[in-house]
Amino acid sequence: METILIIDDDDQLRQSFEKLLKEEGYAVTSAASGETGLDVLKKVMPDLVILDIRLPGMNGLETFKTIHQIEPKLPTIIMTAFGTTETAIEATKLGAFDYILKPFEIPDMLSVIKQALEAGRFMRSPVAMNGVPEKGLGEAIIGHSKSMQHVYKAIGRVAGSDATVLIRGESGTGKELVARAIYQHSLRSKKPFLVINCVAIPENLLESELFGYEKGAFTGAAHRRMGKIEQANNGTVLLDEIGDMPFSIQAKILRLLQEKSVERLGGREIIPVDVRMIAATNRDLEKALHESRFREDLYYRLKVVTIWLPPLREREKDIPLLTEYFISKFSKGIGIENPGISDEAKKMISEYPWPGNVRELANTIQKTLIFNRGAPIGPDDIAQTLGEKRINDETASVEDNQIFKQFIQKRLASYADGNVFEICMDDFAKMIIREALNMSHGNRSRAAKILGLSRPTLHSKIEKYGITLSTSVK
């Protein structure tokens, strides 16, 4: 469980915040002043600090500076009121993760918290190359194949420089993992590492997220806001899925790479920034170039240092290593003994083409371990997990499924003036829950995991729909 430390002198805010974050599944400790906050921090090293900028005694900025000295990789979110935004910006320039204006909307705060915790994990969890994770902590890039040896060499060659790196490869080949390894082994490893996913951020927000804006730059820009690039100053930025970046923003990225400066939206000031850029994509950039979706100048600027990640099917030798690695890693995660795997199952895994690459292999192993409940993994178990996936792929489009269609048509016809939508949804919910319980042999925790529901939510749905199973339900 991740621990969050809240430092704020407002008792009410602290209490309601504590309640909210506990409900979200975080462990929370809090302090009413900078001094006590630092004491708490030294005792329980949290994963994130949320710090008010206006504090009695030692002020927020001073408190932040001390926290940053103690643990430079500990993400800190600054809370600020309208009048103290400039101080919050200053703290961010000094390395705070981000700042948020009071009063804030809870979903906004939760989203920043999630991002900050992820950034903290990325910065602190070491990525070992070509071996086992150090002291069982962190992650490792696994693979002995020739093509992976090239990747390790390339990482070693580029990590120590400030060169822009382009990482290419199919989906699930480990591009993000490699970006993190480069960061971990770079001279900037103590500075921020920020991942910006160009697809995850809506197109109309991406530009202001990246570059920030001045007050009045557009409707709703009530105050100045720093962009992510400025926030990551002195550090490293991973522009993930850069092949999907809108054309208009590509020009600004090129300018950033060439001139090492940004301009906030609606601003005239040229702000120098020093960031090391890593870009990643699974797109066919040459095709995008040809179709005028990707700028030629940016393409040539980025491709100077390219690391290609091979698809898994082209490095068959690595598949058994990865399989063993994931079995051991996920067994620990689920809290079971390593159940082992038979040679036939290994063979089957080695012969499968893995179109989703390492991510697909990892997911397959994880799912099989959950279903197997600690029994050794045999070929049938793998076949079942892979088979289920194939069936899922075939019925991926519910609209095309005739049986579904007929079922819905019948319902619509027979409940012409009732709340047919609710009734259909309830029927579906019942079916899905019953199937998940069957799959997990009645184990509710496992069924909840499969469904992506919390256990209490699943429990209340079972009660609501009066679901019973022929097998005994644990």
Binding residues (CB under 5 A) for Mg ion: these are 176
User: In this complex, which beta carbon is closest to Mg ion, that of residue 9 or of residue 176?
Assistant: 176
Residue 165 binds: one of Mg ion, ligand ATP, none (C-beta under 5 to 8 A by kind): none
Near ligand ATP in 228-287, by CB under 6 A: 282
Q: Which residues pair with 271 in a beta bridge?
A: 262
Please tell me the distance from the alpha carbon of residue 366 to that of residue 369, in angstroms, as a whole number: 5
Determine the size of the site formed for ligand ATP (CB under 6 A).
17
Of 156-164, 229-237, 354-362, 403-411, the segment contacting ligand ATP by CB under 6 A is: 354-362
Residue 324 near ligand ATP by CB under 6 A: no
Task: Name, in order, each residue with C-beta under 8 angstroms of 81's C-beta and a sequence gap of 6 or more.
Answer: 53, 54, 101, 102
Strand 225-226 to 212-213 pairing: antiparallel
Shortest Cβ 99–Mg ion spacing (Å)? 27
Shortest Cβ 316–ligand ATP spacing (Å)? 14
Residue 169 near ligand ATP by CB under 6 A: yes
Burial letters for 287-299: b for 16+ Cβ neighbours within 10 Å, e otherwise?
A: ebeeeebbbeebb
Read off φ and ψ for residue 420, nearest 5 degrees. -65, -30
Residue 175 near ligand ATP by CB under 6 A: yes
Residue 195 near ligand ATP by CB under 6 A: no
Residue 171 near ligand ATP by CB under 6 A: yes
Residue 174 near ligand ATP by CB under 6 A: yes
Q: Which of 58, 163, 177, 288 binds ligand ATP (CB under 6 A)?
A: 177
DSSP result, 222-264: -S-EE-HHHHTTTSEEEEETGGGS-HHHHHHHHHHHHH-EE--
Residue 329 near ligand ATP by CB under 6 A: no
Shortest Cβ 370–ligand ATP spacing (Å)? 16
Which has the closest alpha carbon to 214: 329, 129, 89, 114? 89
Q: Which of 109, 123, 141, 307 binds ligand ATP (CB under 6 A)?
A: 141
How far is Cα of residue 206 from the mean position of the Cα atoms in its chain? 17
Of 66-74, 173-181, 209-217, 419-427, the segment contacting ligand ATP by CB under 6 A is: 173-181
Q: Which of 4, 41, 142, 377 binds ligand ATP (CB under 6 A)?
A: 142
Q: Which residue is nearest to ligand ATP (CB)?
A: 174
Please tell me the distance from the alpha carbon of residue 120 to that of residue 117, in angstroms, as a whole number: 5
Residues 46, 113: contact at Cβ < 8 Å? Answer: no
Residue 172 near ligand ATP by CB under 6 A: yes
Shortest Cβ 245–ligand ATP spacing (Å)? 14
Tokens at residue 313, please? 């099917």
Tokens at residue 418, please? 């009732």
Residue 7: in which H helix or E strand, if any?
strand 3-7
Please tell me the distance from the alpha carbon of residue 327 to that of residue 333, in angstroms, as a whole number: 10
User: In this complex, which beta carbon is closest to ligand ATP, that of residue 279 or of residue 362?
Assistant: 362
User: In this complex, which beta carbon is closest to Mg ion, that of residue 176 or of residue 244?
Assistant: 176
The site for ligand ATP (CB under 6 A) is made up of 139, 141-143, 169, 171-177, 282, 322, 358-359, 362
